[in-house]
Structure 1
């Protein structure tokens, strides 16, 4: 007795066979690439030998007698008597940052935001951005003068003591850098990067290397999106699969006519969109972070509207806005975080109104 396959089943198999083979091939390739690049997983991880890892600097510090203590969670972390390096301070809650920085003898923060600076180093301020390039120290900070030229850029800071055109600044025991590039395996041997990182991190016999990770109770809101913390190799594999799926869908999709457009009966005001974004941050319990994000986004939109470059300093932005609108704008654009949820929503509305006024 024989079993026959229906014509419909055979036709479906023939139609699905090619895209299925392609999808499987892409998936296997993505997995192989991910496993092959496992050393790249873990940006600024002391155990990673990839280009973005930091095994090289950790090894050099150990050879110099510094005890490097990697930490992926703030739970029970005690940096007293040690140098504390926070690789991604924007992920850590303000309370956790204050506790850790107050107990450490010296602190190094990589690309901290204004919210972070307000919490741990009010003498420092975010003053825009700088392109990453080789820069001269231009200051009297011992670590910088000993290192000489180094590859720095990213965030620019304003402070009493700044080096490398503002890409490095200090305030008491806190040192901030606008980029993490000098700490990576790929850039460590460029110019004076190695000397700079070793002097900043090797000041004490013990170095606490804090790399915030998923599940850390010290993250903002208690948790953080896993997409922010996934290694680059896994993200790359997921993107490969997604691209393959889209291509297969476009290849096999039915060829229909053009999409028929229809006017919508309701127009959503820009202010409602801004308020909705603020409510999302508020729901996560990160009012200060929400305010900082809203202000940054508003300033990024105001600069081109005012004919200012992307790295225009706060004073230039404020002066241009006040000249256009005829009213004070510094407190709105660069003021302290709002006191609560209601103040956050008012801030969002005021920023939206200011943008509309500038564009008129």
Structure 2
């Protein structure tokens, strides 16, 4: 019996789906499912309305809060009073000798607190201390917070040992005690002033719930606050007023936006990204062109700086630093590019606490006489920009 073989065109082909055909057929469903899942997660987050963390707040149990430290102080018999305004701190000071702890100066009228008697502990990323600690100068450098040794005779620091310190480096007045060195300064400065002891710490991470159990953080915090006096713990208000510029009236566009508008923006970005991935054109691999040499931008800046130093071109280096600073400051101050020195100095003095004569000398004065003066000028210009950026 003969068997007839069908021609190739009529042979049966495999009908089992391949991974490529399966993805092509179901990618739309997968992408739609991802959109639904992301929308559900966003709705849960929007509906939960969880309270945000309040850094260094004695009532906050989050990692950034200081609930654990406040409870330890109360167990040691120390009275801890949480206040959220300068007036409340003044009222507490009228009840007797107290220790004032300041963890945030954003919404505080420092002039009302400057005359309060007793001890004070100022913690956090502080730039200008002209009212609360006028004898302490903050350095331009910002040391990274890490475990540091005290290296000082202050009993509170020596008993605690190493602690999580950094943030800001300071230089204290003559006779002060400086601990936890960082660069050219120290991250903790303590000195006697106004009938009490003023202590300034560059970073409050050692007081948080997250870091309190590490190194000697708890011991340092307790030693600084357990002075036998009640503690007035000043924190930002729960409902802070909107910060407005001088002469500004009414509400801005951002004040009128609902609080959850950022989630709408995030969802729109995700939807656009998924659509681009779905409908985007598949291109081949990127062709890398071999260049004769690749020079990083930082190397060109360092090279130009070395040329300036070799030729003692302090005047040109100072002019470049001042020109860049003035360009950035005029944009933040709302001035035009043609603004004169008097306009820039007057506007900058109104927005900061710096002396107008010192500002004019730094921005438009003569060039530095030596390299140390050039370094000091660069640090002061950076300090001015940091003060303006915090407003």
Q: Bin the TM-score by the shorter chain.
A: 0.5 to 0.7
Q: Is 1:197 equivalent to 2:212 in the alignment?
A: no
Query: 3-state DSSP class of the match of 1:151?
Result: strand
Q: Is 1:171 equivalent to 2:191 in the alignment?
A: yes
Matched with 1:123 is 135
CA displacement at 1:244 relative to structure 2: 3.0
CA displacement at 1:200 relative to structure 2: 1.0
Matches of 2:351 and 2:170, distance apart in 1: 23
Matched with 2:57 is 45
Matched with 1:287 is 351
Choose between structure 1 and 2 for higher RCO, CA contacts under 8 A separated by at least 6 residues: 1
Deviation larger for 176-185 or 132-141: 132-141
Deviation larger for 74-83 or 201-210: 74-83
Matches of 1:214 and 1:289, distance apart in 2: 27
Q: TM-score, normalised by structure 2?
A: 0.56
- Of the three residues 241, 256, 272, the one matched with 1:249 is 272
Query: 3-state DSSP class of the match of 1:76?
Result: helix
Q: Residue 18 and residue 148 in structure 1: after superposition, are their counterparts in 2 closer, same or farther (change >3 A)?
A: closer
Matched with 2:380 is 334
Query: 3-state DSSP class of the match of 1:138?
Result: coil
Matched with 2:43 is 28
Matches of 1:56 and 1:190, distance apart in 2: 13
- Of the three residues 110, 127, 137, the one matched with 2:123 is 110
Matches of 1:32 and 1:239, distance apart in 2: 14
* 8 Å Cα contact 2:39/2:267 also seen in 1: no
Matches of 1:72 and 1:285, distance apart in 2: 29
Q: Is 1:211 equivalent to 2:211 in the alignment?
A: no
Q: Residue 331 and residue 252 in structure 1: after superposition, are their counterparts in 2 closer, same or farther (change >3 A)?
A: closer
Matched with 1:264 is none
CA displacement at 1:272 relative to structure 2: 5.0
* 8 Å Cα contact 1:97/1:120 also seen in 2: yes
Give the unaligned 5+ runs of structure 1.
Answer: 1-13, 228-234, 257-268, 299-319, 339-343, 349-360
CA displacement at 1:82 relative to structure 2: 1.0
Q: Residue 249 and residue 216 in structure 1: after superposition, are their counterparts in 2 closer, same or farther (change >3 A)?
A: closer
Matches of 2:89 and 2:242, distance apart in 1: 10
Q: Deviations over 1:190-222 (max 9, x none)?
A: 111111111111214311111113655798979
Matches of 2:270 and 2:76, distance apart in 1: 52
Query: 3-state DSSP class of the match of 1:154?
Result: coil
* 8 Å Cα contact 1:138/1:164 also seen in 2: yes
Flag the structure with larger Rg. 2
Q: Deviations over 1:250-295 (max 9, x none)?
A: 3346879xxxxxxxxxxxx96455213024999999611699xxx9
Q: Is 1:162 equivalent to 2:178 in the alignment?
A: yes
Q: Is 1:84 equivalent to 2:100 in the alignment?
A: yes
Matches of 1:76 and 1:187, distance apart in 2: 29
Matches of 2:88 and 2:245, distance apart in 1: 18
Q: Is 1:181 equivalent to 2:193 in the alignment?
A: no
Which structure shows the bigger proportion of residues in helix conformation? 1
Matched with 1:69 is 81
Give the unaligned 5+ runs of structure 2.
Answer: 1-28, 282-322, 336-343
Query: 3-state DSSP class of the match of 1:277?
Result: helix
Query: 3-state DSSP class of the match of 2:61?
Result: coil
CA displacement at 1:334 relative to structure 2: 3.3
Q: Residue 205 and residue 156 in structure 1: after superposition, are their counterparts in 2 closer, same or farther (change >3 A)?
A: same
Q: Residue 85 and residue 278 in structure 1: after superposition, are their counterparts in 2 closer, same or farther (change >3 A)?
A: same
Query: 3-state DSSP class of the match of 1:182?
Result: helix
* 8 Å Cα contact 2:86/2:112 also seen in 1: no
